[in-house]
Amino acid sequence: MKKPLSEMSSHQRGRSVILLLLAFLLCLTACDRSAKLNSVSAEKEVARLEDFQFTEPVQKVLRWKLDLLDQLFQGKQLRACVENANTENRKLSMQEMLRRDKDWIEKQQGDLVFQRLITSECSQKLKTFQAEYVGYAEIFVTDERGFVVGLTNLTSDYYQADEAWWKRARQQGEAYMGTMDYDQSSKTQSIAIYKPVRDTRGHIIGIAKAVISTQHIEAML
């Protein structure tokens, strides 16, 4: 049977205290290592989402492109298109909207929803903007639930709210720029800009994504 600490000799008490301290230090080391591993994992996840640090000339071009997008989505007509799409889409259940997403992915350009959207007023306004301001390889906008309501190119899917970029733009409520990457929809090396679309009261009614060609950016420098 172990003796209480009070009944131990000073040598035994000293040894017990040292052992307790060593056990405590080992526990701290293990916890610190675990925390660091979790921190590294979290930092890697954030790094995939954080804005890439471009040179000042590149940032200047991107800010200009963002300013043009702000003007586009603050316009009454395009804003009304997104609001009207929200009104119509709210009549449909999430199950029905996800069924449409499945058809979109399977049928691509043959999908009836895509064929209707690509000729919609909202899409025509985006295409007009794209033709007037070169460098935008792709632009599309979703409704408040993440379903595409206007586009210049066929997107990989109809439902976008499960994408990390969509979630971030929705949660932080402001525009941000992605990293340089190859965009599958537009088939270009590009940098994406993501921004919330707001109504006149400041409420978020949709999320827009614009893909800027890196070739165009280089030409602007």
> What pLDDT was estimated at residue 31?
41
Question: For the sheet containing 136-142, what is the strand order?
Answer: 148-151, 136-142, 204-213, 188-198, 176-183
Helix, strand, coil percent values for the chain (each to nearest 5): 60, 20, 25
Best CA proximity match to 82, nearest among 140, 2, 155: 140
Q: How is residue 107 written in tokens?
A: 């049928």
Q: How confident is the model at residue 9 (pLDDT cuts 50, 70, 90)?
A: low
Q: Of residues 192 and 37, which shows the higher confidence score?
A: 192
Q: How confident is the model at residue 109 (pLDDT cuts 50, 70, 90)?
A: confident
Tell me how many degrees the CA angle 139-106-161 measures, rounded to the nearest 5: 45
pLDDT in tens, 176-198: 999 888 877 777 888 999 999 99
Buried b (16+ CB within 10 A) or exposed e, 102-139: ebbeeeeeebebbeebbebebbebbbebbeeeebbbbb
Averaged confidence pLDDT in the chain: 81
Exposure on the CB side of residue 68, measured as CA atoms within 13 A = 19
Contact by Cβ (8 Å): 139, 151: yes
> What pLDDT was estimated at residue 47?
33
Cα–Cα dist 82/97, whole Å: 16
Q: How is residue 218 written in tokens?
A: 């280089």
